[in-house]
Amino acid sequence: MDQIIVTGNGALNGEIPIAGAKNACLTLMPATLLTDQPLTLTNAPRLSDIRTMTELLRSLGAEVASLQDGTVLALSSHDLTSQRAEYDIVRKMRASILVLGPLLARYGHAEVSLPGGCAIGARPVDLHLRALEAMGAELDLREGYVNAKAPSGGLRGAVIDFPIVSVGATENALLAATLARGTTVLKNAAREPEIVDLAECLRRMGARIEGETTGTITIEGVDALHGATHPVVTDRIELGTYMLAPAICGGEVECLGGRIDLLGAFCEKLDEAGVSVEQTNRGIKVARKNGRIKAVDVKTEPFPGFPTDLQAQMMALMCTAEGTSVLEETIFENRFMHAPELARMGARIEVHGGHATVTGVSKLKGAPVMATDLRASVSLILAGLAAEGETIVSRVYHLDRGYEHVVRKLRGVGAKIERVKEGEAAHG
């Protein structure tokens, strides 16, 4: 098992390239199931979750080739051999459920295991299933699998009003609706950049979609989609994570490929805390303004609000801020599991239900800590960058699901960080 060892080493300076979005790419890859023509995705991130989705698509008979050091994915589903997504693959990653809509839309039937993923709350798939049922699907849940059948003649258009905003359910319904008969309207739909990116890709494939930035998406079903080439949007969560590095440590870092419009609410909070955020022609330049970071309150919300996937990293920043901040988590329950680990480093955090109160301390101290999920793991690394002494982060396999080359990227701006096998001494 690998560990990451971080030694607080002062200010960070330089450039960090930002990869394509994991959550966008995982949504785009199942779009290949909607057509028998090739789909090519550029700017793909090189992550274990992408490899898991590749494994899943190949198990269905799709062809997936990783080109140009993994940054280009060439996909083809011209000759699928199965419409059953097996538990052994699906359990590894929640996004696996996104093959359900495309398989049902194109083939009229699908069997998909209920998914796994990070242990950050229940995250049920009932909204996915309700949306497909509204389009005429007959669903039967047995032995841990969703057995789905479309009516004769295929899925049909419907008005689907989501009771709460759900990114995954919006994506599954959007994918399925492209081949449904008639018009589908998704109300209270998610508006995340990954949804916009999916709509743009599907339009390139011949889909008729409008309104993906508004919360009401209208899809006119077509008989067939064709192949396309599409660049994956910048990963706004990786972007926000690395923007926090100079905020925590001092210095100035330019995040290449970054766009403020992907993280408007987050950038506003950084400005409020005393962090300079500047759009450049190459990305986003970030620097701490003057003195100690100021405490700010944060409430996670669906886009365009503050992203839940940046809450843990923002908590790391607030640990050494001047004053007291309250972080409210409204998207997932059980998403403060990083708080006790930060407390091991000297942070003062009190958690009550969906609220965490953080009273800033002058300095964190390095300690052995354990990652509990993907975003928690990187929050501990950020905290370690600003702590006195050595921080050892265990269970970093979570990290590989969402961040490529973390050690290389942070070293490139001056961080003292090493990945080692458990029990080995750090070096270099």
Binding residue numbers for UDP-N-acetyl-alpha-D-glucosamine = 94, 123-127, 309, 331
The structure tokens listed for 145 are: 């699998």
The CA distances from residue 387 to 63, 236, 336, 414, in Å, are 46, 26, 20, 15
Helix (H) or strand (E) holding 218: strand 216-220
Known binding-site residue numbers for phosphoenolpyruvate: 22-23
In sequence order, the 6+-apart residues with CB closer than 8 A to the CB of 355 are 326, 327, 328, 329
The Cα–Cα gap between 426 and 428 comes to 7
Tell how strand 355-359 and strand 348-352 pair up.
antiparallel
The Cα–Cα gap between 84 and 71 comes to 28
Which residue has tokens 């997936």? 64
DSSP string, 108-124: SEEEEEPP---SSS---
Residues 313 and 275: beta-carbon distance below 8 Å: no
The Cα–Cα gap between 3 and 43 comes to 28
Is 255 a residue of the active site? no
The Cα–Cα gap between 129 and 74 comes to 29
Known binding-site residue numbers: 22-23, 94, 123-127, 309, 331
Q: Which of 25, 118, 249, 255 is catalytic?
A: 118
Give burial (CB, 10 Å; 0-12/13-18/19+) of 130. middle
The CA distances from residue 305 to 134, 239, 299, in Å, are 29, 16, 8
Residues 57 and 47: beta-carbon distance below 8 Å: no
End-to-end CA distance of the chain: 20
Which residues are registered as beta bridge partners of 197? none
Catalytic site positions: 118
